[in-house]
Chains A and B, each alone.
Chain A
């Protein structure tokens, strides 16, 4: 039976999640140098096109189609064959299946867009498009099936992920790590400092991301009910606490709280609360957000010492955030909050924490290996990086023949 309230809510939530990708484009775009702003924005924007089409033909059926051995969905829903306006018997039974499908499409779009921050300012457009498509097919779709698809093997072992701590944030963060290792640092990285060219743009992007995240986490309840309200509240509290903690750490360590720090802390909190949002109460959400601000702040400081040019901190914020959030889920989850979830360590069930750790290990290793191979193969065949002169000239001119600001 279709419920109009649930349908209305998930339609709105799908719109909200779509808005996160342009929001991310601005978040990243403001942090790069002027000569790369359009190239950076484009890498997020074009995912909206590329992945939507991939999702219709392959992504949805691979992720959510009839299960093959717990590993992948088969291709019987190719081109959305049989996916109509009647509710699915398996997923979200009170809304048209097409609504569930388009809602999930928005998650598939933003995940490869998140990776782009790691190799910002130095990758050519054509190999980037090829990588993103291959990554969506070989990494996102299988991992999504394992955890959210009916019959997926990690789900069968009890691994929970409310809105994408593993499926979205850990995968993109791990792929980002592989990217940084294969592609290497930007020209003159470490010798000159790269200042963000437009911080108000980054803050505008943060605002849009935060707004959209209510659809991302709240909508993951797949109905307009108490779980959605729990997730919505936890999301806000997680983002808020992440921002507060990151700003405080900066204030204590480097003397001034920065706007970039506030934005990064908010995103860290939001990414970290994502896997736990519908399974934890408000006090746990605040604790998780504070922990996120603290850990991600130090993770980002660490990259300079390790010499990794993860340009826009995908590993430190999304990778670590997704990992930490999943661990926290294992600790703070409570059936008193959501009877459909699980009890975690604090509710006396240590086994659930080990299950979540197992999920992290599997998803992390699989994503890293496949992403690393993909980057290596594309690098060997097409070449990932721009030539040195082009990199100095900037992505906007070299790859798109445009310039962002003209007076």
Chain B
């Protein structure tokens, strides 16, 4: 046990927790005023649902004793045996702290998906989806990558959750947007964000929390945490700049929504790479992420799917680029515990990264499809047309966001 590492991880855990309310505001500002509370609620309630699942069986499924590389067994259900002495994943902090840190990742992942079906899903259907998706998609993939499962055993790198969190939520978001269908009036009338100040506040809180997310993934307060912390800052800075430059060039004006989206795209892309790459590489990863995600987001209107708050374009595409970028830029000179990537003369890593990403996408999409299909049959996914026009705040929660 090391008190410095423990102090660091306690702070990092709280910072990752803060990202979920930050995400709630980021998304909440982008919807119309009649849906702001419901949108915020979808993120907030994940703090409740997933925390309970995690204690009951989630932590054990994700990190418990391995069963054939696929899943953890239920030996640690109810956190049995998970105490204040260090566990198998981190030698210098209490096992329970590692469990709490990982919980915050499990909370934010289903919350990220909510941007895809914003402004039109039934609250009951959403609750059922979150329970099932976290159990059947998140816990297994988390086990594969971080819990000693088959992905980690063949050498893929994912420092802080590019595959587990961003590609995974982006893939699920694409399926969700396609299955639930477009919002009423989509493509005919413009949907303006109702409160961009709220979105920018959310982006600021996310950026802050992301230091806990990435640097904390080192699980100790040392060199690797520092590498990750720094890569996080410059990649998101670079991505925000490249996104607004793209906007400036193609649409005439740099927007605040673009700066916020670009920053998040950079944070997403650097996540899997953050502990393995140099600052120069991080800047390149960020610059590419900003431009790439900007163009990815533009495609949705051409392809005709209503990914309301751009989960696919930012988290899916950004996450996929990050996974590949890790395969390109990773360097054992930066982190001896990592691997060399393409530029350090090891093209095999790039292939492994691509394969892991594609496997995650396929598994996530298939299982998400089955879950949503089931919910649609038994509960119904969407609110009816009148309720959608009236707004989710009133029809799902009997509240209004603003009484001015």
Contacts of B32 in A (CB 8 A): 406
Selected from B192, B200, B227, the residue in CB contact (under 8 A) with A403 is: B192
User: 16 interchain pairs (CB within 8 A)?
Assistant: A4-B4, A7-B225, A8-B4, A9-B7, A15-B212, A15-B229, A21-B204, A25-B204, A29-B197, A38-B197, A48-B240, A52-B237, A53-B237, A53-B241, A105-B233, A201-B197
Main secondary structure of the interface of B (DSSP, over half): helix
Selected from A16, A49, A405, the residue in CB contact (under 8 A) with B240 is: A49
Q: Are B207 and A26 in contact (CB under 8 A)?
A: no
Q: Are A8 and B8 in contact (CB under 8 A)?
A: yes
Q: Are A46 and B240 in contact (CB under 8 A)?
A: yes
Residue of B nearest to A405 (CB): B195
Give min CB distance, B340 to chain A, whole Å: 18
Most buried by A among B15, B220, B237, B283: B237
Q: Are B233 and A99 in contact (CB under 8 A)?
A: no
Contacts of B211 in A (CB 8 A): 11, 14-15, 18
Query: Which residues of chain A from 42 to 58 have a CB within 8 Å of any chain B CB?
Result: 42, 45-46, 48-50, 52-53, 56
Q: What is the interface residue range for chain A against chain B?
A: 35 or more
Query: Which residues of chain A from 234 to 262 have a CB within 8 Å of any chain B CB?
Result: none
Selected from A98, A402, A406, the residue in CB contact (under 8 A) with B256 is: A402
Give min CB distance, B53 to chain A, whole Å: 28
Q: Are B279 and A56 in contact (CB under 8 A)?
A: yes
Contacts of B192 in A (CB 8 A): 403, 406
Number of residues of chain B lying within 8 A (CB) of chain A: 57
Q: Are A8 and B5 in contact (CB under 8 A)?
A: yes
Query: Which residues of chain A from 84 to 119 have a CB within 8 Å of any chain B CB?
Result: 85, 95-96, 98-99, 101-102, 105
| Known contacts A5-B4, A49-B240, A102-B229: A41-B223 contact under CB 8 Å | no
Q: Are B4 and A22 in contact (CB under 8 A)?
A: no
Main secondary structure of the interface of A (DSSP, over half): helix
| Known contacts A8-B7, A11-B229, A45-B260: A401-B255 contact under CB 8 Å | yes
Residue of B nearest to A50 (CB): B241
Q: Are B226 and A3 in contact (CB under 8 A)?
A: no
Give min CB distance, A24 to chain B, whole Å: 10
Q: Are A48 and B255 in contact (CB under 8 A)?
A: no
Contacts of B197 in A (CB 8 A): 26, 29, 37-38, 41, 198, 201, 404-405
A369 is an interface residue with CB less than 8 A from chain B: no
Q: Are A2 and B260 in contact (CB under 8 A)?
A: no
**Complex CA–CA separation, A204 to B222 (angstroms):** 33
1/0 contact string of B192-205 vs chain A (CB within 8 Å): 11111100110111
**Complex CA–CA separation, A79 to B15 (angstroms):** 29
Q: Are B208 and A22 in contact (CB under 8 A)?
A: yes
Residue of B nearest to A18 (CB): B208
Give min CB distance, B208 to chain A, whole Å: 4
**Complex CA–CA separation, A38 to B203 (angstroms):** 14
**Complex CA–CA separation, A102 to B5 (angstroms):** 19
Q: Are B205 and A22 in contact (CB under 8 A)?
A: yes
Q: Are A19 and B204 in contact (CB under 8 A)?
A: yes
1/0 contact string of B221-240 vs chain A (CB within 8 Å): 11111110110011011101
